[in-house]
Amino acid sequence: NAGVMQNPRHLVRRRGQEARLRCSPMKGHSHVYWYRQLPEEGLKFMVYLQKENIIDESGMPKERFSAEFPKEGPSILRIQQVVRGDSAAYFCASSSSTGPNEQFFGPGTRLTVL
């Protein structure tokens, strides 16, 4: 099954630590999106990347958050100096470069900040 893979599935960090979330897109997909789902809220777009390029980061908080999608390897969402408000489920989605923009989601990483 070549679906979207995310790891870790659960991540616990103390305030001030760094969190690194990884996403491998579906086979054949070159577009990656990150979304955040806060408790009792809907999914919110964060960033859209293609290989080695950030296309749209309009939903990304301006400080502490960064994302990359290197030529080789998974996409990484990095949160520096985590705070309790960063506790959420982070989902990665991928789509093909051709055809309709149907985005397929991974199982998510649930980040808990103590």
Partner 1 sequence: EDQVTQSPEALRLQEGESSSLNCSYTVSGLRGLFWYRQDPGKGPEFLFTLYSAGEEKEKERLKATLTKKESFLHITAPKPEDSATYLCAVEGTSGSRLTFGEGTQLTVNP
Residues forming contacts to partner 1 in the complex (CB under 8 A) are 4, 6, 31, 33, 35, 41-45, 48, 55-56, 58-59, 91, 95, 100-108
Q: Minimum distance between the CB of residue 58 and partner 1, rounded to whole angstroms?
A: 8
Nearest distance, CB of residue 70 and partner 1, angstroms? 20
Q: Residue 16 Cβ, how far from partner 1 at the closest point, in Å? A: 27
Nearby residues of 28 by Cβ (< 8 Å), 6 or more positions away: 96
Q: Which of helix, strand or coil describes residue 85?
A: helix
Closer residue to partner 1, CB minimum distance, 17 or 29: 29
Q: Which of 103, 104, 106, 94 is nearest to 5 (CA)?
A: 106
**How many Cβ atoms sit within 10 Å of the Cβ of residue 31?**
18
